Amino acid sequence: MSVTSHHDVLVLGSGPGASVLATVLARAGSDVLVVGEDTHPRYRQGETSTPFLSWLLRLLSARYDVPEFAHLAAYDTAREQVSRRVGVERSIGFAQGGRERRTALPRAAAGALLYRQDVDAHLFHTAALHGARVRQQAKVVKAEVTADQVLVTTARGETFSARFLVDASGRDSAALAALGAEVREGAAADGPRTRTVHTHLIETGLPAADGTTHHLFDGGWLTVTPFTGGGVNPVTGVRFTVDADRFEQDEDPEREFRALLERVPELRPGRIAPVQPWHSTGVQQYAREQRAGDRWFALGASAGFTDPFLAGELVHELQVVNALAWRLIKALAADDLRGTYFAEVAALDERLRSAQATLVADFLGAGADPARLDRFVERWELAGFYATLRLRDAVVSLPGSDGPALAYEGLVPDDDLETLRKVTPPAFRSGMTALREPGRGLTAVGRLRAAARTSPSPEIQRLLLAATPDLVRGRL
C-alpha cells in the first residue's frame, strides 16, 4: 500500500470541533491533516449563542493561545473579525400561548448569533492559518489501526497515515464503522426522542426580537433565530423540534412546517420564502457504543447527538475538545496513545450527552404546563449564571502564556444540572432580576451568595459558595 502522506494526527470532518482541535494541535507543534467530505461554506443548524458558550470560547482562546476563538465570544468582535452576517444575541426568549419571558443580557455581554456557514468556515480557515493541512471533498471509505499507526483511505484512492485519528465526521463515519465502533440509534431509555424541520427564511414578517426565541407548545417548540439585527443579513433561521413519538413525519418538510405553524397561533408569518433547502431529520438521538480506542477518538457528532437546543451540541463538543486537546498533546509527546488514556474524556462526553438530554426533556415536558415553563427558565438562568461564573473565573486564573501545558478539570460539576432540577429557586429571583440590569452584576452576585447563606438547601450552598478561583488553581 502506497501512503500519500504521514502525520501526527488525522482529523476527519471539518465542523467546529474538528477545526478547533486541529488549530490547537497544530499550534502546539503537531503535524495535523484535516480531511473533510464536503466544502465550506455550508448550512448547519445550531445557531444560538449563550453566555456559557461565549466564555467557553474565551477559555479555549486563553488556554491554547488562539485569539481567533475569542473573536466569536461577542457580537462586536464577531461582526468585525469574522462576518458581518452574524446576528446579535442580547436576550433569549421563551414564549408559550402568547406569553413570553426573555432572559436579557447586559449590552456589554451581547453574544453573536452564529451564522454557521460563515462561522464554521472561519474556524476551518483558522486551523489552516495555524499550520494544519486541510483537504476538502475527500470522502473516507476505509480505516485500519495497526500497532504503530492509523491508515485511512479516501474514495480517490489516497491513503493517509497518522499516529492518532480523531473522527468528527458524523453518524455515518466509514472509518469508525471499519474500526467496529457501532452506532446505537435512538435516545437512551429515559431520554427524549426528537426530530426537527428547519431552514433559513427571508421576509418572514415575524415579530422583531434581539435574540433567539423558543415558542413552546404541547409536544414541541419553534426556534426563531433572527440574523437581521445587524442590518446586513436578511435571513431568519427557523427550526421546529417535535416529539418524534407524537408527530408523524411528513414526506414534504415544507408542508409539515406549515402544519406545525398552526401550533403557534400567535405567529403569522407574512410569507415563507426559504433561501436554503428544507431539512427534515428523523429521530436525532444516537450514540456510539465505543468512543475511544487505541490510537483513535470519536468527537462530536461521530460520538453521538442529542439536540441543538440552547447551543447544547456546540457547547458539548467544545467542552470535549477542551478536555481532549491537552491530553492528546501530552500523549503524543510521550508516545502513549492507548485508548485507556482517553477513557475519562469519553466518559465526560457521555455525561454531557445525558445532561443535554435532561435539559431537552424538561423543556419538552413544559409544553402543556406554563408553570413548569417558569420553573424551567428560572433553573436554566441560575444554572447558566453559576456555570458561566466558573468559566469566567477559569479564564481569569489561566495565564495565557502557559497555553496547552495547563490542565484544568471540572469546569462545571457533573451533578449541577441534576441538583438544580431538585431545587426550587424563588429565593434567587431578585438576584437574577438584578443580573439583567446593566451595571448591577456584582450586586446580583452578592445577593445570590447572601441568599445561599440563608437557604435551607445545602446543595445550593455548596453550588454558590464554592471558592471557584481556589478550585481552579488547585487543578492546574
Q: How far apart are CA 309 and CA 77, in angstroms?
A: 24
Tens digits of per-residue pLDDT, 8-42?
999 999 999 999 999 999 999 999 999 999 999 89
Tens digits of per-residue pLDDT, 235-280?
999 999 999 999 999 999 999 999 999 999 888 777 788 999 999 9
In this prediction, residue 427 carries a pLDDT of 43
Tens digits of per-residue pLDDT, 165-186?
999 999 999 999 999 999 988 7
Q: Which pairs count as long-range contacts for 373-379, CB under 8 Å and 24+ apart, including other chains?
A: 373/94, 373/96, 373/101, 373/216, 374/101, 375/424, 375/425, 376/94, 377/94, 377/101, 377/103, 378/425, 378/426, 378/428, 378/429, 378/432, 379/420, 379/421, 379/423, 379/425
In this prediction, residue 61 carries a pLDDT of 93
Contacts with 334 (C-beta within 8 Å, 6 or more apart), sequence order = none
Computed over its alpha carbons, how large is the radius of gyration of the chain? 22
Q: How far apart are CA 160 and CA 152, in angstroms?
A: 5
In this prediction, residue 375 carries a pLDDT of 85
Question: Facing residues of 164 across strands?
Answer: 9
In this prediction, residue 344 carries a pLDDT of 92
Three-state DSSP at 85 gives coil
What count of Cα atoms within 13 Å lies in the side-chain half-sphere of residue 369? 12
Q: Prior bond to 265 cis, omega within 30?
A: no
| Cα–Cα distances in angstroms (integers) from residue 40 to residues 120, 456, 467, in the given order | 8, 53, 43
In this prediction, residue 271 carries a pLDDT of 76
Check if the beta carbon of residue 306 is closer than 8 Å to that of residue 357. yes
Mean pLDDT of 312-321: 94
Residue type, 447: R
**Range with the lowest mean pLDDT among 138-152, 225-239, 411-425?**
411-425
Q: 440 phi and psi, to 5 degrees?
A: -115, 15
pLDDT bracket for residue 69 (50, 70, 90): very high
Q: How far apart are CA 72 and CA 125, in angstroms?
A: 14
Judge whether residue 78 has pLDDT over 80. yes
In this prediction, residue 453 carries a pLDDT of 44
**Range with the lowest mean pLDDT among 13-27, 53-67, 184-198, 437-451?**
437-451
Longest dimension (CA), the chain: 70
SS3 content of the chain, % helix, strand, coil (to 5): 45, 20, 35
In order, the DSSP letters of 415-476 are THHHHHHT---GGGHHHHHHHTSTT-HHHHHHHHHHHHHH-S-HHHHHHHT--HHHHHHHH-
Which uninterrupted H or E stretch holds 96?
strand 91-96
In this prediction, residue 2 carries a pLDDT of 82
Tens digits of per-residue pLDDT, 328-348?
999 999 999 999 999 999 999
Q: How far apart are CA 339 and CA 347, in angstroms?
A: 12
In this prediction, residue 230 carries a pLDDT of 76
| Cα–Cα distances in angstroms (integers) from residue 197 to residues 148, 185, 239, in the given order | 44, 19, 6
In this prediction, residue 410 carries a pLDDT of 37
pLDDT bracket for residue 225 (50, 70, 90): very high
Residue type, 441: G
Mean pLDDT of 415-425: 43
End-to-end CA distance of the chain: 44
Strands 183-185 and 286-288: antiparallel
In this prediction, residue 103 carries a pLDDT of 84
In this prediction, residue 476 carries a pLDDT of 25
Q: 147 phi and psi, to 5 degrees?
A: -65, -30
Judge whether residue 461 has pLDDT over 60. no
Q: How far apart are CA 19 and CA 33, in angstroms?
A: 10
Tens digits of per-residue pLDDT, 102-126?
887 655 568 999 999 999 999 999 9
Share of the chain above pLDDT 90, in %: 62
